Amino acid sequence: MTAIGIDLGTTNSVVARYDPEQDRASVVTIGGARSTPSVVSLRQRGGKEDLLVGGPALNWAKAAPANTILSVKRLMGRDFADPAVAETRARRSYQIVSGPNDDPRAHVVIGERTYTPAQVSTMILERLKNGAAEKLKEDVTHAVITVPAYFKEAQRAATREAGEQAGLVVKRIIDEPTAAAIAFGLELREGERRRVLVYDLGGGTFDISILNTAKDADGHNHFQVLDFVGDNWLGGDDFDLLIVEKIIEWVRRNAAVDPSGDDEFLFIAKKAAEEAKRTLSEADWADIIIPAAFRAAGSPVDVEMTLTRDDFEALIEPLVDRTIHLVRTALERQNLSPDDISDVLLVGGSTQIPKVREAVENFFGTGKVRRHIDPMECVAVGAGILASTLHGVECLSCATVNDETASECRKCRQSLVNARSAGDTHVYDVTGMALGVAAVRGSQADTFVPIIPRGTPYPMSEPMRHTFQTTDGRVIRVPVYEGDSATASENQEQGVIEYELPEEIDIHTRVEVSFLFDRNRELHVTIAVPGTNMEYRKKLRFDTARAEAPAKADFEEDDATYREDLVYLEEVTRRFLRTYEQYLRPSQAMKIQGDLERAQQTLVFSDPAECRRMISVLQSDLFGSGLASQLYIAERAADRATATDAQQINQAVAALQQSFQQGKQEAVAEQAQVLKLMVAKVGQQYEVAEVGDAEDFAGLLKLLDDA
C-alpha cells in the first residue's frame, strides 16, 4: 500500500509523500514538474477527440477556451442555482449548465457532453495518482486530499467522491491550513506546544485557521483546530482578474474597441495577468505585451502596456484589507489577540506577493511570520505526512485498529461510525458551520434549529439531540440545513428526510431528532419517538442527499404546476409587501424582499424541487409576519364574509391601524386579539382558505418551548 498526500488546488495541484524512516516528506514530480495545472481540455483534431489533463490541457487551452475547464474547484458541490455559480459563469469561457433529469447540481460542458465538477476533478486526480505511481514505481492506493477550510459539507463530499472515482481509498479529507500546520509540526520538539495561525491565500480561496499544536513524549504530533473562517471567493484568481480589467481598459482607450466579450482574448489576457503578477513580486514594474491580442475591423490589436507595482498594489489593496479583516474576526471569535499567536504560517502562492506579506507582518510582527516553509508545497507535504502516519481507525469499544474502509470492527463487530483515526499524527477537527433542521416556531415555519453547533469537535462519540412536536398529519418532514443564519432558508439545504408515523402512534406526539457526525463528515440522522420502539435512521451523504430526498405522495403533481403556483404566489407576496410594509419590522421586510429575489432566481432556473421549497417560504412570509399577516388574513376573510361580518372586520382593522399610527402599542395588542377572534369565527363559518393555510406546515416539526 502506497499512500500519498494531494493538494487538489484551484489552479495547480501538488502530490507529496512522507518517508517515516527518514522523517522527511518530499514533493513527487509528475511529468517532470513539481505541480500539475488543475485543467482539463478537449482537443479536437483530424476528426479525433482527446481529453487532456494538466500541462497538456493548459497548453491546448488557447486553441479551445470554450472546451477548457479551469478552476472547477469553485463549482464543487454547488447547485446550479447557487449565486457563486452565476458569478463563475460570468468569469469563465466554458459553459456551466444545470444537470440532466432534475439533477440540481452545476455541470460543465466539454464538447457535446456534460460533466459534474466531481467528474472533472476525478480526471485530475487520476492524472496525479497515475503520475505518482509512475514516478515512485509503486501502485498508489490511498490518499489524503486537502480542501479549503471553509468548504461546506457538499463540497467536501464531492471531493471525496472524486477521489473514490479515481480509484483511491480516501483516508481523510483534511483542511488545507491544517495540512500546512502538520508540515510545520515536523519542527516541533518533544513536549513543545505552539498556537499557530495559518494564513492561506491560494488561487481561488482564502482561509484562516487557528490551531494548537504539540508533540508528546512519544513523538506523536497533535493538532487541535480551534476555529477557522474564510472566503470561498477570494484568491489569486481575483488579483489576476483585476489586472485583466486594466488590460481591457487599455484596449478600449487605445484601440477604441471593447474586447470583454471575446473568450479567446480573455483567456490570453488572464495568462498575461498571471505572468505580470509574478513579475511584480520581484520587480517594480511589469511589461504586458500581447501580440495580436484582439482583432478589430479585420486588423490585429497589439497590447503593449506597463503596470507598476504601485498601481498593482492599489488595485489589490481592498482584497488584502479584506483578508486582514477576516484574520481579526477569527481571533475575536476565540477571544485571542495577535500576541496570543506564537507562529503565523503563510500558505498559498498569493502570499508571495509583497503587499500581502507586508500586511500580515504589520499585523502580527515580522518575527512571528514563518517564511522558510514553501507556501506552494507545504499543504501537499502535510497531507503526505498524514497519509503515511494514519494506520486505520480505532474501535471505541475494544480499541482494535481496523482498515479505513471497514464499517464494523473485525473483532467485536461494533459499528465504526464514530471511530477515530489511528496513527502517529492526531488531528482534532471541528465543524465549520452549524447543522440543524427547519422547524416551526409559533407561526414562523422557517426557523433554523441547530442540533450540532458550529465548532463542535468530530467524530462525535455520542449523537446530539433535540426534541420537537409533530404538526397535523402522519408524515414527519425534516429538512436538514447547514449554516449560521437563524432563518433556515438562508442556509444551505443538505437534504430532506421524510418518515410516516405508524398508525399506533398518535399525531401531536413528541419526536426526537438526533445527529451524529462521523470521521468522514457523513451525517447520521435518527428520528425517534421517546418511550416507543419507533426509530428511523438515515445516513446523509451531502453529495447525493438532495437527489435522494424522497418526495411526498401529496406533492406528485406536474412540475409545471409548481412553477405556475410560484409565479402567482410571488406576485401576491409582492403586493403584500407593498401594502403592509409599514406594519413589518425592518428585519421582516428585508427577509421577505430577499425571499422574493430568491423566488425570481428559482423561476429563471425552473427547478421543481426549489419551486416547491420557495412556495413554502413565501407562504410562511404571508402568514407568519405578525401584525402585517393578521391584516392580510383579515382582508381575505372580509372578502368572503357576510355584509355584517365584513363591516365588523373592517371597523376593527381601521381601529387597529389608527392605534398603530398613533404608537399606542397596548391598544394595538388588544385590538389585534379581537380581530383574530373575528377572523377565526369567519374561518369556521365560511371555510376561508387563507386562514387555514396559516397553520399548514406540511409535516414540519414544531419547536417546543421547553425543549
pLDDT computed for residue 291 by the predictor: 93
Q: How many helices (H) and strands (E) does the chain have?
A: 18, 33
Query: What is the SS3 assignment for 410?
Result: coil
Q: Which residues lie closer than 8 Å to 224 by C-beta, 6 or more apart? A: 211, 212, 213, 428
| Rounded Cα distance, 415 and 398, in Å | 11
Shared domain for 651 and 599, answered yes or no, is yes
Sign of the dihedral through C-alpha 256, 258, 264, 265: positive
Which residue from 89, 70, 380 is spatially nearest to 204, judged by alpha carbons? Answer: 70
pLDDT computed for residue 434 by the predictor: 92
Count Cβ neighbours within 10 Å for each residue of 182-200 and write b for 16 or more, e otherwise.
Answer: bbbbbebeeeeebbbbbbb
Q: Measuring CA to CA, how many Å separate 580 from each of 267, 583, 624, 627?
A: 50, 6, 13, 9
Residues 631, 702 contacting (CB under 8 angstroms): no
Shared domain for 453 and 490, answered yes or no, is yes
The residue written with cell numbers 471569535 in the block is 333
What are the two backbone dihedrals, phi and then psi, of residue 501, each rounded to the nearest 5 degrees? Answer: -65, 135
Per the structure, how many domains does the chain have? 4
Residues 431, 456 contacting (CB under 8 angstroms): yes
Q: Measuring CA to CA, how many Å separate 250 from each of 253, 255, 283, 290, 303?
A: 5, 8, 21, 12, 8
Q: Which residues lie closer than 8 Å to 508 by C-beta, 6 or more apart? A: 469, 470, 471, 472
Answer whether residue 666 is part of any domain.
Answer: yes
Query: What is the SS3 assignment for 170?
Result: strand
Residue 177: all three cell numbers together: 491550513
Shared domain for 25 and 124, answered yes or no, is yes
Answer whether residue 326 is part of any domain.
Answer: no
- Cis preceding-peptide flag for 459 (omega within 30 of 0): yes
Answer whether residue 323 is part of any domain.
Answer: no
| Rounded Cα distance, 159 and 149, in Å | 13
The residue written with cell numbers 484596449 in the block is 251
Shared domain for 157 and 54, answered yes or no, is yes
Shared domain for 519 and 538, answered yes or no, is yes
Shared domain for 34 and 168, answered yes or no, is yes
Answer whether residue 61 is part of any domain.
Answer: yes
Angle among Cα 58, 201, 364 to the nearest 5 degrees reads 155
Angle among Cα 209, 212, 215 to the nearest 5 degrees reads 135
Shared domain for 528 and 489, answered yes or no, is yes
Amino acid at 7: D
| Rounded Cα distance, 405 and 420, in Å | 13
Which residues span the domain enclosing 547? Answer: 434-555
| Residue 703: strand pairing partners | 468
284: CATH: 3.90.640.10
Write the DSSP string, 645-664: HHHHHHHHHHHHHHHHHTT-
- Provide the CA 331 distance to its chain's centre, in angstroms: 22
Answer whether residue 707 is part of any domain.
Answer: no
Answer whether residue 333 is part of any domain.
Answer: no
Question: Which parts of 282-342 fold into alpha helices (H)?
Answer: 309-333
Q: Measuring CA to CA, how many Å separate 461 from each of 156, 397, 453, 515, 516?
A: 21, 11, 15, 11, 8
pLDDT computed for residue 596 by the predictor: 84
What are 672-703's pLDDT values in tens digits?
Answer: 878 877 776 665 554 433 333 444 566 788 88
Instruction: List the chain residues with pLDDT less than 70.
Output: 186, 297, 443, 472, 541-562, 604-610, 680-698, 705-707
pLDDT computed for residue 547 by the predictor: 38
Characterize the bridge pairing of strands 425-430 and 221-231. parallel
Shared domain for 633 and 689, answered yes or no, is yes
| Rounded Cα distance, 286 and 280, in Å | 6
> How many Cβ atoms sit within 10 Å of the Cβ of residue 276?
23
145: CATH: 3.30.420.40
Shared domain for 11 and 158, answered yes or no, is yes
| Rounded Cα distance, 287 and 276, in Å | 7
Shared domain for 15 and 90, answered yes or no, is yes
Shared domain for 508 and 647, answered yes or no, is no
Please compute Rg for the chain using Cα positions.
29
Domain boundary among 501, 521, 555: 555
Which residue from 136, 133, 121 is spatially nearest to 54, judged by alpha carbons? Answer: 121
Name the strand (E) or helix (H) holding 446: strand 444-452
495: CATH: 2.60.34.10
Domain boundary among 262, 283, 314: 314
Strand arrangement of the beta sheet that strand 390-394 belongs to: 401-402, 390-394, 420-423
Answer whether residue 418 is part of any domain.
Answer: no
> How many Cβ atoms sit within 10 Å of the Cβ of residue 610?
22
Shared domain for 601 and 679, answered yes or no, is yes
Which residue from 204, 222, 202 is spatially nearest to 212, judged by alpha carbons? Answer: 222
Residues 40, 52 contacting (CB under 8 angstroms): yes
Residues 327, 208 contacting (CB under 8 angstroms): yes
Instruction: Give pTM, 2 decimals.
Output: 0.71
What are 466-521's pLDDT values in tens digits?
Answer: 999 887 677 888 889 998 888 888 888 888 888 888 888 888 788 999 999 887 77
Domain boundary among 176, 193, 213: 176
Sign of the dihedral through C-alpha 304, 310, 313, 315: negative
